[in-house]
Chain A
């Protein structure tokens, strides 16, 4: 596989991605593209899953080195499930984000992975947290990440409104991801969305040919 690896900052398979999460009235939408690349030039997978379930109503999106991100989310899932057994209740979204943050901060020298955590809990309802590369944890109502996110900051700042309806938010997320995938070479494939509300979780997959098209396509 050495021939695929050129000068990429991430060793091995990179998610080189676009990830996004946004709160709407009554829930949260979290989504990503589905491309995994090596060395910035070889697409090693067109259908990689970057929206990972860490608990019943808490999901997280991964960016950076695929190996590191998968290892961290596995450890986080196990911590959270133990925490939830000890507390005898589902974990809070902030707890899930903190578990990821601890792992990222304590191992910041070795790891190259960032996360967006989104979910619903009884205490604060829908929430979105960002855990960056070095282990910073902040809460936001809408957030984007990954290499493709640079192309859609303008779109997100202009188009996001708090208290959108579920359909509006789903459309906003799909549009944002489609725009990023259209400009970033290491993002692509299909759009994976997960909509989390008090009632439960719904997965939506938008295949490549059903993605919204813009004026120049």
Chain B
């Protein structure tokens, strides 16, 4: 729900507007089995370095055992100086970050200021806490503002932690191993990018739910460098996504043309006033 002002709070409790729609949809599927929500089964990581923040993510989205999207974008835009990586239920992370981004744009326009990372974190915390864990979004928020370079994690129940480096998602343990070993305060840009790349790579190698390419997003005072993909998977396939067949590929055996006779039943003329 878009708010006209971020300072307005929502009415308390859950929003049950979609219950009627969901029960109607259930009737449409055989056996009443609604499709399972798409989970990102992910590895995401972030590191604070000397001049800013580096965020990284893999690009695989899974639906149970099938890879549903090989080039999914898990680093979401929040504002010109803040980006957010999301793990958990794909729809939840997508919508939560979209909502946050639009509310922050309204705030920016109203106040004339670039939003601060703490503000984004507080809004997210309030939103997720209100839903008591039902919104399955594990988010890593990173950004640069007038108070410095910040990296926060927000959990699905609404817990917040501010950290210099972080990994989340199903591949987090593998990625954290690399980060714990290689992290130092005030890293240079290239070393920081390499550290994040190596940690996502470890997640991709050790976790079935993560894979394909690696995206990197570097945020500094000067601006944002969103490198998509930063590293491509060695296991690329050369399938065509679109298949076009020449007319005549399938032989035509017989052809029958039936003209449809239509009569004009009613004619009405309405003048449009364009003055």
- The answer to whether B203 has its CB under 8 Å from any CB of chain A is no
Q: List residues of B whose CB falls within 8 A of some A CB.
A: 87-88, 122, 125-126, 128-129, 132-133, 138, 155-161, 163, 168, 170
A45 at the interface (CB under 8 A from B): yes
B159 and A13 contact, CB distance less than 8 A: yes
Closest B residue to A69 by beta carbon equals: B159
**Distance, CA A44 to CA B169, complexed state (A):** 12
Q: Flag whether A11 is at the interface (Cβ < 8 A).
A: yes
A125 interfacial by beta-carbon distance below 8 Å = no
Contacts of A47 in B (CB 8 A): 163
Contact B163 A11 (CB under 8 A): no
Name, among B132, B133, B161, the residue most crowded by chain A CB atoms within 10 Å (CB to CB). Answer: B161
If A44-B161, A71-B126, A110-B132 are given as contacts, then 4 extra A-B residue pairs at C-beta distance below 8 Å, sorted by A number, are: A3-B170, A12-B133, A67-B158, A74-B122
Contacts of A20 in B (CB 8 A): none
In the assembled complex, the Cα of A13 lies from the Cα of B161 at a distance in Å of: 11
Looking at B133, B158, B159, B160, the one whose CB has the most chain A CB atoms below 10 A away is B159
Residues of A26-71 whose CB lies within 8 A of B: 36, 44-45, 47-48, 65-68, 70-71
Some 20 contacts from A to B, beta carbons below 8 A apart, are: A1-B88, A1-B155, A1-B168, A11-B133, A12-B156, A12-B157, A13-B159, A36-B159, A47-B163, A66-B155, A66-B157, A66-B159, A67-B128, A67-B133, A67-B155, A70-B159, A71-B126, A71-B129, A74-B125, A110-B132
Contacts of B88 in A (CB 8 A): 1
The reply to whether B125 and A70 contact each other, CB–CB distance below 8 Å, is: yes
What B residues does A36 contact at CB under 8 A?
159, 161
- Cα–Cα distance between A70 and B126 once the two chains are bound (Å): 10
Q: How far is the CB of B130 from chain A (nearest CB, A)?
A: 9
Give the chain B neighbours of A3 by CB distance below 8 A.
170
What separation, in Å, do the CA atoms of A154 and B239 have in the docked complex? 70
A45 B163 Cβ-Cβ under 8 A: yes
| Closest Cβ neighbor of B156 among chain A residues | A12
Which of B126, B155, B156 is most buried by chain A, counting CB atoms within 10 A of its CB? B155
